[in-house]
């Protein structure tokens, strides 16, 4: 037999629902924070690759004469050098492309989440 009054039962249900909604919001914000961190990482990687590709033509015309110049090894290491230049420029946000890419990734994720919620 239940000895609680209807108002106490209603209050208990409201408290439980509020507690559940708080937990849901915390889960969403944690998911959102993880998505934002992943979007930032992806945007920086994109900027690094973009910068490296844009710098390739700058280094094609450089002659490698001298005792230690030329060869297949230099071609390989030049590519690696350009990748590192790209990573460094992306880390310092000197171009600012990563910020724009991150905003677009987050926007696309939000639109995809809204589409998923509307389908349910």
The proportion of the chain whose per-residue pLDDT surpasses 90, expressed as a percent, equals 18
pLDDT at 84: 93
Q: How confident is the model at residue 46 (pLDDT cuts 50, 70, 90)?
A: very high
Predicted local distance difference test score (pLDDT) of residue 9? 60
What are the boundaries of each domain within the chain? 36-119
Residue 4: predicted pLDDT? 56
| DSSP codes of every residue in 44-105 | HHHHHHHHHHHHHHHHHT----STT--HHHHHHHHHHHHHHHHHHHHHTTSS-HHHHHHHHH
- Closest by alpha carbon to 7, among 15, 97, 84? 15
- Residue 35 near residue 106 (C-beta atoms within 8 A): yes
Q: Specify which of 7-11, 41-45, 68-72, 104-108 reaches the highest per-range mean pLDDT.
A: 41-45
Q: Residue 90 corresponds to which tokens in the numbers above?
A: 């992306």
| pLDDT tens string 53-102 | 999 898 887 777 666 667 777 777 888 889 999 999 998 887 888 888 98
- Whole-number pLDDT of residue 1: 47
User: Binning pLDDT at 50, 70 and 90, where does residue 42 land?
Assistant: very high
């Amino acid at each position: 037999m239940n000895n609680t009054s209807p108002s106490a039962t209603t209050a208990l249900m409201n408290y439980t629902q509020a507690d559940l909604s708080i937990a849901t919001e915390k889960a969403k914000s944690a998911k959102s924070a993880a998505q934002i961190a992943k979007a930032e990482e992806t945007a920086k990687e994109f900027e690094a690759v973009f910068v490296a590709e844009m710098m390739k033509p700058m280094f094609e015309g450089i002659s490698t004469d001298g005792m230690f110049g030329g060869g297949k090894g230099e071609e390989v290491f030049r590519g690696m050098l350009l990748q590192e230049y790209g990573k460094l420029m992306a880390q310092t946000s000197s171009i600012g492309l990563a910020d724009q890419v991150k905003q677009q990734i987050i926007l696309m994720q939000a639109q995809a989440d809204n589409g998923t919620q509307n389908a349910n």
